[in-house]
Chains A and B, each alone.
Chain A
Amino acid sequence: MTTQTTQTTQTTHKVTLTINGQPYTAEVEPRLLLVHFIREVAGLTGTHIGCDTTSCGACTVLVNGVPAKSCTLLAVQVDGAEIRTVEGLEQDGKLHPVQDGFVQEHGLQCGFCTPGMMLTAVALLERNPQPTEDEIRRAISGNLCRCTGYVNIVKSIQYAAKQMREAQATPAPAPVGAEV
């Protein structure tokens, strides 16, 4: 499972992550942060880095369905996990209702915090299909946005919640992208 490199005592570990349904295996240093695995090993650059104190949430991904700040997890620490990133939200050419909501309600400006913000919203709505404004604000309080002032992000999530409830009420011809 581990190999010794020649130059240092450093051990590497074989890590396999399933990202958006696709397995990625790499031999990595234990210190490799999950966000760097996603961005540089898997080449999925939609997940961003905005701070170094676990404050901003730009790096938020879903780890086994739960939002996590991928700059504060080691890749080895989540070996074997199912990871979902922004690139995995659109399914079969159909946007996730949260993606649609962010467009319809102008929930993004520069777009840098948006992937993390959307993944937090996706997890919230999977857990709580009808959140109040206060519950939405609480849920996204680990994601900083400098552009929007959050008003339209809240509306975007409310829009998505409505779409998802309606889709559930009247069975849609195709799934709307939420995990089943």
Chain B
Amino acid sequence: MATETETPIRGMGHSVKRKEDARFIRGRGRYVDDIKLPGMLFLDIVRSPYAHATIKNIDASAALAQPGVLAVITGKDLDAAGLAWMPTLMGDKQMVLPVDRVVYQAQEVAAVVATDRYAAADGVALVNVEYEPLPPVTDPIKALEADAPLVRPDREQKTNHIWHWEAGDAARTDELFNQAEVVVKEDLYIPRIHVCSIETCGCVASFDAVEGKLTVYMTTQAPHAIRTVFSLVTSIPEHKIHIISPDIGGGFGGKVPVYPGYVIACVASIKTGHPVKWIEDRSENLQADSFARDYHITAELAAKRDGTMQALRVKTIADHGAFDAAANPSKFPAGLFSVITGSYELDAAHVEVDGVYTNKPSGGVAYRCSFRVTEAVHTIERMVDVLAQKLSMDPAELRLKNFIPPEKFPYKSPTGWEYDSGNYPAALRKAMEEIGYEQLRREQAEKRARGELMGIGLSTFTEIVGAGPSHTFDILGIKMFDSAEIRVHPTGSAIVRIGVQTQGQGHETTFAQIVAEELGLPVENITVEHGDTDTAPYGLGTYASRSTPTAGAATAVAARKIREKAKNIAAHLLEVSPDDLEWENYQFRVKGTPGKAVTMQQIAFAAYTNHPQGMEAGLEAVDYYDPPNLTFPFGAYVCVVDIDRGTGEVKIRRFLAIDDCGNIINPMIVDGQIHGGLTMGMAPALLEEITYDENGNIQQGNFMDYLLPTAMETPAWETDKTVTPSPHHPFGAKGVGESATVGAPPAIANAVVDALSHLGVTHIDIPITPWKVYKILEEHGVAES
């Protein structure tokens, strides 16, 4: 009865070419700015030139006199509708449009609605806003001083301090530090940076007054959560809100928050009765949308003289800008920062973070990382090197001495995380062997003797991704599960709908591969849909490398539910008991009778044409997957740098990334994720940074000064893998989109410090600019003269 499968299944482990590419390479992607609805108007935003000011008056008369300008919306208009403020994900509130004061430069002040984007821009230029500047505060340490300007007088607490958070065992940590033979301490600043997906944010909001339905095409990584939030804020019933996240031109965390522009566009559509498009300029995106990092960290590491690491103590001032609009799970104001003990077996750790308001846009979104993990990894990976230097030990040797041993997994960390699986020595040894570590050390010694500067940097990081178990993780009370729905059609093709939302990760391909593997259907015959809240099952969206750990798991579990039903149909078709069947080579076979088998395609047809009496027809399933734990991908990175003694420039000669993300769905896509992640790790290590002057003016407000790496700055990344499956994930995967962004910066920083370590240099804050390096060279008399 069974026939050999003619079309290859190509499930797990195959480098299947991406299904989504067909439209993208033809210019047929459909991004938000490509959407054009009949009668659509355009919205543009007036922004504050001041970081801190009261608004005395807004005069829109000249703008309204412009041809094409239809309306000007201000905070007072929104206030009348109760919409001048909106809730943030962290339980704070945030201005949509200000009624009487602005709290950061480039803050939205008013919106102009016009017939097209040119008329809207003309209108913006003619809105006359009268400000009275107030003294701003942009340094979070100064913001904590008693006489600092108050950023948020709307709050009951008249201070810029937002919250204090801590994890670990303070007493035990202090005790170990008091007894420690060796203590190293560094101040590390992890600068404010911006994700800068090449597509900016925007939306098309369309309110149908007859149906009472609001449809929003939106650049969002989390359409379902947005729908719920919109319903709660606007009182529009949730079934009358339709969020569509079409093709998204990169997210990296920047498209998780709700920005004021989205809300204003919805209001404008309701007010004008027309669809309204809002698309940010790059400058607006870079100046006003939420930022990442901005952590001022003091870290101490206690150890024995033989290099045994014992305890870590960390204090942090976190600059959250004017609104605490970080995109973290509700119970974690500092995200998963407490994973800071990393890959090392420590007796104790204590981590403290204090959140602070400043006159800057909101901080605390990810930059291609899971909730503050990059800050944590940079700290521990730098501190390990600082300790190695202090002890005159090779940093690889020190790491190997202190790794959590493979046999100790699952491992409970001193701050309470349970690492699912890991084999850190294997990854590091593989990295050292592939790059020729010993030979590089010899070369370095020879070069150093000649006065040349070369450095080798390691990073052996552990990530924490896949939020999360719902007992611990929620966003605004919505539990962080995720979902999949699969329908197998009579002729054996299938549609999969998932609660997460791709922004380039290739879900249309990888999720089809999961189903192909589980059901034995060719990957070509499986369609994956997402991003439409009217059709996809509810999910929390794609960020923090959670898609494969959560929705990927849901997809596998839903497919297994289908396979269970299919087994009964197969038994019916083969006239045997289900117990006599085995799933082998993508077919149900009668045990001991290999020729007697049915394929899923045959079963699917039977499910609609010849299903057993008493069984429901059809072949479909839904799963809402609540992961039992997070997953802990890890890696071992080696970076080799050369330093130009005449200019201080750092050149990455080689960079090898050994990643372990558990079982791999599509190796081609995993490599692509790692290449991109490494580049976004290098960027803040060497190039990207956002700073403000004393008046609160952003210094890098466009791509002339915010330095995204080009193909010329980016080295030819080398990659390889180890595979340590997650024991609790249905197919042993861990998630990989962000590992490299998290792991790369300390490898680069460690390499540069290593090149200069013989001069006594122990730390350089990122970004490591040529002038920071040159200053060190000059001070130590080794600059080229």
B434: shortest Cβ distance to chain A, in Å? 17
By secondary structure, the B interface counts as: loop
Tell me if B712 and A138 are in contact (CB < 8 A): yes
Known: A29-B118, A108-B21, A141-B712. A46 touches B679 (CB 8 A): no
Closest to B704 in A: A53
Considering the chains assembled together, what is the distance between the CA atoms of A55 and B198 in angstroms? 11
A72-80, A143-151, A161-169, A172-180 - the one binding chain B:
A143-151
In the complex, A159 has a CB within 8 A of chain B? no
Q: Could you say which residues of chain A place their CB within 8 Å of the CB of B671? A: 106, 152
Q: Could you say which residues of chain B place their CB within 8 Å of the CB of A104? A: 17
Tell me if A55 and B703 are in contact (CB < 8 A): yes
In the complex, B166 has a CB within 8 A of chain A? no
Tell me if A31 and B118 are in contact (CB < 8 A): yes
Q: Could you say which residues of chain A place their CB within 8 Å of the CB of B248? A: 110
Q: Could you say which residues of chain A place their CB within 8 Å of the CB of B33? A: 39, 45, 48-49
Q: CB-defined interface of A125-150 with B at 8 Å, one 1/0 digit per residue?
A: 00000000100111011111111111
Known: A51-B703, A108-B24, A111-B504. A149 touches B676 (CB 8 A): yes
Tell me if A52 and B283 are in contact (CB < 8 A): yes
Considering the chains assembled together, what is the distance between the CA atoms of A148 and B714 in angstroms? 11
Q: Could you say which residues of chain A place their CB within 8 Å of the CB of B20? A: 111
Known: A110-B199, A110-B504, A115-B27. A150 touches B711 (CB 8 A): yes
Q: Could you say which residues of chain B place their CB within 8 Å of the CB of A70? A: none
In the complex, A26 has a CB within 8 A of chain B? no
Q: CB-defined interface of B642-678 with A at 8 Å, one 1/0 digit per residue?
A: 0000000000000000000000000011011011111
Residue from B28, B250, B678 with most neighbouring chain A CB atoms (10 Å): B250
- How many residues of chain A get a CB closer than 8 Å to chain B's CBs? 59
Known: A53-B282, A102-B21. A148 touches B29 (CB 8 A): no
Known: A146-B252, A146-B680. A110 touches B25 (CB 8 A): no
Q: Within residues 197 to 230 of chain B, which ones have a CB less than 8 A from any CB in chain A?
A: 197-200
Known: A52-B281, A102-B21. A110 touches B249 (CB 8 A): yes
Tell me if B676 and A56 are in contact (CB < 8 A): no
- How many residues of chain B get a CB closer than 8 Å to chain A's CBs? 58
In the complex, A123 has a CB within 8 A of chain B? no
In the complex, A114 has a CB within 8 A of chain B? yes
B211: shortest Cβ distance to chain A, in Å? 27
User: B198's contact among A53, A86, A113, by CB below 8 Å, is which?
Assistant: A113
Known: A52-B283, A110-B504. A8 touches B67 (CB 8 A): yes
Q: Within residues 88 to 111 of chain A, which ones have a CB less than 8 A from any CB in chain B?
A: 89-90, 95, 99, 102-104, 106, 108-111
Q: Could you say which residues of chain A place their CB within 8 Å of the CB of B679? A: 146, 148-150
Q: CB-defined interface of B684-710 with A at 8 Å, one 1/0 digit per residue?
A: 000000000000000000111000101
Considering the chains assembled together, what is the distance between the CA atoms of A153 and B23 in angstroms? 17
Tell me if A86 and B678 are in contact (CB < 8 A): no
A77: shortest Cβ distance to chain B, in Å? 17
User: A149's contact among B21, B198, B714, by CB below 8 Å, is which?
Assistant: B714
Q: Could you say which residues of chain B place their CB within 8 Å of the CB of A99? A: 25-26
In the complex, A47 has a CB within 8 A of chain B? yes
Considering the chains assembled together, what is the distance between the CA atoms of A102 and B17 in angstroms? 10
Considering the chains assembled together, what is the distance between the CA atoms of A43 and B17 in angstroms? 29
A156: shortest Cβ distance to chain B, in Å? 10
A-B residue pairs in contact (CB < 8 Å), sample of 28? A8-B67, A31-B118, A45-B27, A45-B33, A45-B34, A48-B33, A48-B198, A48-B199, A50-B198, A56-B703, A86-B25, A87-B26, A99-B26, A102-B25, A106-B668, A106-B671, A110-B503, A115-B27, A118-B25, A143-B710, A146-B196, A146-B676, A147-B672, A149-B677, A149-B678, A150-B679, A151-B675, A151-B714
B residues with a Cβ closer than 8 A to A are 17-18, 20-31, 33-34, 67, 117-118, 195-200, 247-250, 252, 281-283, 503-506, 668-669, 671-672, 674-680, 702-704, 708, 710-712, 714, 716-717
Instruction: Identify the 10 closest CB pairs spanning chains A and B, nearest first.
Output: A46-B27, A112-B249, A110-B504, A111-B24, A149-B675, A86-B27, A109-B504, A55-B703, A149-B679, A45-B34
Given contacts A106-B669, A108-B21, 15 further A-B contacts (CB under 8 A): A31-B118, A45-B30, A48-B31, A48-B199, A51-B282, A110-B198, A115-B27, A143-B710, A144-B703, A146-B196, A146-B252, A149-B680, A151-B716, A154-B711, A154-B716
